[in-house]
Amino acid sequence: MTRETRFGALAADARWQAAWDAANSFATNEGGEKPKAYILEMFPYPSGRIHMGHVRNYAMGDVLARFKRMTGHDVLHPMGWDAFGMPAENAAMEKGVHPGGWTRDNIAAMRAQLKRLGLAIDWSRELATCEPDYYGQEQALFLDMFAAGLVARKESYVNWDPVDMTVLANEQVIDGRGWRSGALVEKKKLSQWFLKITDFADDLLEGLGSLDHWPDKVRLMQENWIGKSQGLEFSFRLAGGAPGFDVFTTRPDTLFGASFAAISPDHPLAERLAKDSPELTAFIAECRRQGTSAEQLETGEKLGFDTGLAVEHPLDPDWHLPVWVVNYVLMDYGTGAIFGCPAHDQRDLDFARKYELPVHRVISQPAPAKAGGDETGQVFHGDEAYVGPGRLVNSHFLDGMTVDEAKAAIIARAEHEGWGKGTTVWRLRDWGVSRQRYWGTPIPFIHCPACGLVPVPKSQLPVVLPEDADFSVPGNPLDRHPTWKHVACPSCGGEAVRETDTLDTFVDSSWYFLRFASAPADKPFDPEVIRRWLPVDQYIGGIEHAILHLLYARFWTRALNKLGMIDIKEPFASLFTQGMVTHETYSRAQGEGLPPLFFTPDEINRSADGATLDADGAPVTVGRVIKMSKSKKNVVDPDAILDQYGADAARWFMLSDSPPERDLPWSEAGIEGAWRFVQRLWRIFGETGNVGDGGEDKPLARKLHQAIAGVAADVEALGFNKAVAKIHALANEIEKAKPSATRAEACRTLILLVAPMMPHLAEEAWAALPEAQRSTAMVADAAWPIADPALLVEDEVTIVFQVNGKRRDEELLPKDAPREIVEERALANTNVQAHVAGATPKKVIVVPNRLVNIVI
């Protein structure tokens, strides 16, 4: 074929995407003998259009998947859709479309966009969580978990929006109001479905230790989220001996510093007392109203209500502590009640100073400034609690002990005397999965007046969503559907109703990676096949899923392990969290009190020293480089980029310059540069037949083989920016070199080196090679080149000569030259001699193959 002087990216993209499809190039080799590699990027929500963040995410995963194929692995690289969720229902309410139609249209549009990127994906495994063949199996798993005691129904307070008639997540409550309706949110007690993730709290925490290939940041975030605290739980008796309430503390050592007891406004005792006290009722209402506002947390004002009750100190029944209801004690942590030790807890101190309660020191504290010795006086001064280490004081039998010794002593005594016990408290809550929503997985249960709660028999799965739902009024369309929920009880045959709650969409994404590996029609997955593919070898996605999604998926995997369905406990052997794609903003101030007016990059003419608006030619303000977002209009549409530059330039730019875990600033100049490099490679690939006088070029051969090894190591470590730099450097070397057999060979090898990143260009160049020079018909099936170890090392190295640690000269010497020779050359060097100036060296340090440092 005749060779074009320019690479026609658009035609090549289409041609090779069709060729891979036709050859079924990326089908998973199910029963293969090679080592497996399961490469997975977090599946997208089908919002309607892909954005640059998707392009970056899938470009990275694709490079790895293609590289693994080239290096002798059976690769599983699938794609699917996290297709349930609120936006579809909002669209239904706003535009009158059906959530299912809206979602499936979006999937079709985004699938077409993704395919234009030329991803090496096994599309035969595509799944969408909104289809019954997926969520029906999820219902089966939910029933299995129910049978194993991992599902619970509990009464729980929820944020209830009285206008939209729905439960809101905490993050949907803004300053006490619903984010959509603006209505004041009520706390409402509802019967909700829970998954018992707290059963695995310790195991989930322990397991983090084994995840060596996860970012420390993510492990730490999960650790904090699980929040393990060890301490003492004990009972207060009311003064006079009547049963009181339980409290939890991590500082039992400070028990002799107690000056009050405090309970949460939501504590049952507070609610009981409120029945006879309008003032307390009003106080509790005030606390609940303020509890959700952010400014309340910031100012941190401590509010209390003295109940008039008192409790006995557990170590001295004659010592009575007043009982307060306070706004900073949370009902859903510990027991919802505490004892207050103001000297050694900042919140308690703030509270005690405000309400003039006693403040007793029980831990000695280093005295400030010169005074010397420790502060041990019982009266505690100042507004800063002391939380550091020290010895116990003013504490009877504990005096002189360290904090840790005192904790152990108190716990031992409490357990001996029977008024308390050492215990562990978790921050992690059970996972509430009920949503009063239509567009989610129906929870497969039936409420029967005679039999109670009855699981839907597996033979009747899937419980399919009704198509004819009504979205014209707020509330749950399933609940008011005229017929759907009315069914016969599977147990007694009497009239019964379906559960109308649906599952949180995080449930859908907690096991999709299993279904990708194995998707039989009659069960969730085949354990044998799971054994071959799981765990996922490399998982790639955004840091925003560091806690919830990844924790839920880890929990779900453990739960299935407990059920005996899978062997593994950790689903993702290696995790990578990639940075965002960012862009400058362009705006103009609109005057006092008005928000600035933003412009899209399309409307702007950007030059080196500023930017102007195309419409009027006048300048605009160039703002900070921030995450692409619709509100700031700093978005770039991938389709437009693909139309203009093709997939390879877009992929290349996504991988260049910025380390993948860091943010990538998008720029017009950057994509232009990537485009120019694509063309430059095309010209280099045109030199594959140019052998010149046919000779060998040893230095170039070294560069080539160093690049083969270096690029492989970088890609393996996800250091794509470094791999890109090495390819650039090799291209520079090839262009500088005179034509030779080595150079022609380097040009051919370069095709393979860029193939994972620029697959269309690589195929096009490969196809132009004479058949004898191609190992396979397509690059997609070619092997990664083998680096010759003999060529990886130089035979000459640059040795730096330093005098007193400062670089004075350098010389090219044979590699591994003996120390004496190197030292001799350094001392003989004229620049060195000038700085040594005849002095006798005190010491000469020789670092082999690197430098000589002469100390005078």
Within 804-843, the residues that bind RNA by CB under 7 A are: 804-808, 810, 831, 834-835, 843
Q: Give min distance, CB of 321 to RNA, in A.
A: 14
Q: Is residue 394 a contact point for RNA (CB under 7 A)?
A: no
Taking residue 444's Cβ as centre, other Cβ atoms within 10 Å add up to 24
The two structure tokens encoding residue 488: 């016969």
Q: Is residue 345 a contact point for RNA (CB under 7 A)?
A: yes
DSSP character at residue 706: H
The strands making up 260-263's β-sheet, listed across from edge to edge, are 304-313, 316-326, 260-263, 337-340
* Contact pick of 156, 166, 658, 829 for RNA (by CB under 7 A): 658
The strands making up 597-599's β-sheet, listed across from edge to edge, are 597-599, 586-588, 619-622, 610-613, 604-607
Q: Give min distance, CB of 380 to RNA, in A.
A: 17
* Contact pick of 359, 456, 517, 851 for RNA (by CB under 7 A): 851
* Contact pick of 186, 672, 794, 811 for RNA (by CB under 7 A): 672
Q: Evaluate the omega torsion of the peptide bond into residue 490 and state whether it is cis, within 30 degrees of 0.
A: no
Q: Is residue 453 a contact point for RNA (CB under 7 A)?
A: no
Q: What distance in Å separates the CA atoms of residue 154 and residue 588, rounded to the nearest whole number?
A: 53
Site for RNA in 711-740 (CB under 7 A): 713, 719, 721-722, 724-725, 728-729, 732, 735-736
Binding span for RNA by CB under 7 A among 21-29, 66-74, 226-234, 594-602: 226-234
Judged by CB under 7 A, the number of residues near RNA is 90
* Alpha helix (H) residue ranges in 616-667: 638-655
Binding span for RNA by CB under 7 A among 70-78, 109-117, 292-300, 555-563: 292-300
* Contact pick of 190, 454, 497, 543 for RNA (by CB under 7 A): 543
Q: SS3 of 696, please? A: coil
Closest to RNA by CB, 639 vs 668, is: 668
Closest to RNA by CB, 75 vs 757, is: 757
* Contact pick of 68, 77, 196, 251 for RNA (by CB under 7 A): 251
Q: Give min distance, CB of 577 to RNA, in A.
A: 10
Q: Is residue 297 a contact point for RNA (CB under 7 A)?
A: yes
Closest to RNA by CB, 29 vs 250, is: 250
Q: What distance in Å separates the CA atoms of residue 505 and residue 493, rounded to the nearest whole number?
A: 32
Closest to RNA by CB, 140 vs 226, is: 226
Closest to RNA by CB, 216 vs 356, is: 216
Q: What distance in Å separates the CA atoms of residue 621 and residue 639, rounded to the nearest whole number?
A: 27
Q: Give min distance, CB of 373 to RNA, in A.
A: 23
Q: What are phi and psi of 129, to 5 degrees?
A: -70, -15
Q: Is residue 199 a contact point for RNA (CB under 7 A)?
A: no
Closest to RNA by CB, 315 vs 559, is: 315
Q: What distance in Å separates the CA atoms of residue 341 and residue 338, rounded to the nearest whole number?
A: 9
State which H helix or E strand residue 549 sits in.
helix 548-562
Q: Evaluate the omega torsion of the peptide bond into residue 462 and state whether it is cis, within 30 degrees of 0.
A: yes
Residue with tokens 């803004």: 174
* Contact pick of 15, 427, 523, 588 for RNA (by CB under 7 A): 427
Q: Is residue 292 a contact point for RNA (CB under 7 A)?
A: no
Q: Residue 629: is it exposed, middle or buried by C-beta count within 10 angstroms (0-12/13-18/19+)?
A: middle
Closest to RNA by CB, 501 vs 733, is: 733
Q: Is residue 213 a contact point for RNA (CB under 7 A)?
A: no
Closest to RNA by CB, 272 vs 806, is: 806
Please state, in angstroms and as integers, the Cα–Cα distance from residue 81 to each residue in 528, 534, 554, 633, following that order.
25, 20, 20, 26
Q: Is residue 330 a contact point for RNA (CB under 7 A)?
A: yes
The residues, any chain, with a CB within 8 Å of residue 361's CB and separated by 6 or more, are 257, 343, 344, 375, 376, 377, 378, 379, 380, 386, 393, 394
Closest to RNA by CB, 459 vs 830, is: 830
Q: What are phi and psi of 467, to 5 degrees?
A: -70, -35
Q: Is residue 338 a contact point for RNA (CB under 7 A)?
A: yes
Q: Give min distance, CB of 738 to RNA, in A.
A: 13
Closest to RNA by CB, 462 vs 719, is: 719
Site for RNA in 33-92 (CB under 7 A): none
Binding span for RNA by CB under 7 A among 311-319, 400-408, 782-790, 848-856: 848-856
Q: Is residue 673 a contact point for RNA (CB under 7 A)?
A: yes
Q: Is residue 248 a contact point for RNA (CB under 7 A)?
A: yes
Q: Residue 153: is it exposed, middle or buried by C-beta count within 10 angstroms (0-12/13-18/19+)?
A: middle
State which H helix or E strand residue 94 sits in.
helix 86-95
* Contact pick of 239, 329, 448, 701 for RNA (by CB under 7 A): 329
Query: b vs e for 534-545, b when ≥16 Cβ sit within 10 Å of the residue's Cβ?
Result: bbbbbbbbbeeb
Report strand pairing: 495-498 vs 486-488.
Answer: antiparallel
Closest to RNA by CB, 158 vs 519, is: 158
Closest to RNA by CB, 364 vs 658, is: 658
Closest to RNA by CB, 101 vs 388, is: 388
Q: Give min distance, CB of 248 to RNA, in A.
A: 5
Secondary structure string (H, E, C) spanning 227-247: CEEEEEEEEEEECCCCEEEEE
Q: Is residue 656 a contact point for RNA (CB under 7 A)?
A: yes
Binding marks (x or -) toward RNA, 748..787, rule CB under 7 A?
A: ----------------------------------------
